[in-house]
Structure 1
Amino acid sequence: MNARRTVAALAAGLLAVTLAACGSSSDDKPATAAGGTASRADREEARDAAREAAGLPPEPSVTKRYAYLEALDAIDPRISKPGKDDQSVSRGLDQCGSIKTTKDRARLVEMALERFTIDTRLPDIDNEATGGKILDVVHKHLCPDF
C-alpha cells in the first residue's frame, strides 16, 4: 500500500468519526420542497437516485473505493494523480455510464484512455492494453452489474 492511500484511508476514517461525533442542527440541513429539512440519509438517497437515473452507479463504499484506487495504482501509479482520488473515482463512475450504454469494447477502451487523460498525459502507456486494464478495473470495482 502506498503512502497516499494510507493517508487517504486514515483521513476518511477520521472524517467519519468526526462527522459521527458532531451533531447537526436543523440550520445545517437544506430545505426540502415541502419547506422542511432533508436528513443526510434523504440527501444521499436523492443523490443516488439521480445517479441511477443518469445511468451511473451510486458512490462506492470506502472499501470499494480503496480497492478501485489500489487496482488503478497496480496498472500504473501515475493514472490516479496524487491528491486527486475523487477525480479518479468520478472518472470511473462516468466510465460506468459508458459501459452501460456502449457494448463495443474497443470504443470503451478508447473512452477510458481519453477519460483518464492517458492519451494526452501519459503517452508512453497510451495503448489498448492499458485502456483495457482500466476498463476492467472500473467494471469490476465500480459497476460490476453493468
Structure 2
Amino acid sequence: MNHRTATALLSVVIAAAGLTACGSDKDTAAPPAKAPSSAAPSSAPAAPPATSKPSGAAETSKAKGIPPKPDAATQAKYLAALAAIDPDIVNTKPDKAVDRGRNQCDTIASFPTDKQKQTDLTNQRFTSPTHPDGFGPAKAGKILDAVHTHLCPTY
C-alpha cells in the first residue's frame, strides 16, 4: 500500500511539475524567443532552411512523384503497351502493374538524369512469377518508356 501511495503521489507531483513547466513556457516563450534569436542567429536560420528544404522536397515529390491513378483510357493504353513488351508483365494483375508504374514515376522524378538507375529500379520493381528477378535491362528500358509515356509524361 505504501509503495502504491508513493507512486501515485509521485505521479501527481510530476504531472503538476509538467503543467507548471508548460505554463512557464507559454509565459516566457516571447522573451526567450527574442534572446535566442539574437544570441544564436545561425541556429535560427539553420533550422528553417533545413525544414524548408525537406518540406520543399516533400512538396516537389508529391507534386511530381507518384501521379494519380490514370483514367480508364490511359490505363488501357498503358497496359496494352506493357503487354506488347511481354504479356507476363501484367500477368492478370492490371492494378498491380498500374501501381508499379505509378511508383516508377516517383523514381523518374527522383533521378531525372540517371537513366541507368531508372532502368535498374524498373527491373527490380517489375517482376512476375516467371520473372522473379525482373525482365532484364532491355525490357526494363521498354517498360520504363511505357511508364513515362503513359503515366507521367511531364516528368
TM-score, length basis structure 1: 0.58
How far, CA to CA, are the matches of 2:71 and 2:80 in structure 1? Answer: 14
Question: Hey, what does 1:4 align to over in structure 2?
Answer: none
Contact persistence 1:52–1:58 (CA under 8 A):
no
Runs of 4+ in 1 over 6 A off after TM superposition: none
Unaligned runs of 5+ in 1: 1-48
Whether 1:144 and 2:153 are equivalent positions in the alignment is yes
Per-residue deviation, 1:53: 4.8
**Cα distance change on mapping 1:91 and 1:125 into 2, 3 Å:** closer
Q: Whose radius of gyration is greater, 1 or 2? A: 2
**Cα distance change on mapping 1:57 and 1:124 into 2, 3 Å:** closer
Question: Hey, what does 2:85 align to over in structure 1?
Answer: 75
Per-residue deviation, 1:123: 6.7
Question: Hey, what does 1:41 align to over in structure 2?
Answer: none
How far, CA to CA, are the matches of 2:125 and 2:88 in structure 1? Answer: 14
Question: Hey, what does 2:136 align to over in structure 1?
Answer: 127
CA RMSD of aligned residues (A): 2.4
Secondary structure of the 1:114 match is: helix
Equivalent pairs, count: 95
Unaligned runs of 5+ in 2: 1-58
Secondary structure of the 1:78 match is: helix
**Letter in structure 1 aligned against 2:101:** G
How far, CA to CA, are the matches of 1:78 and 1:56 in structure 2? Answer: 24
Question: Hey, what does 2:45 align to over in structure 1?
Answer: none
Amino-acid identity (%): 42
Match of 2:70 among 34, 43, 60: 60
Contact persistence 1:91–1:116 (CA under 8 A):
yes
Greater fraction helix: 2
Bigger shift: residues 133-142 or 56-65:
56-65
TM-score, length basis structure 2: 0.55
**Cα distance change on mapping 1:88 and 1:123 into 2, 3 Å:** closer
Match of 2:124 among 87, 94, 114: 114
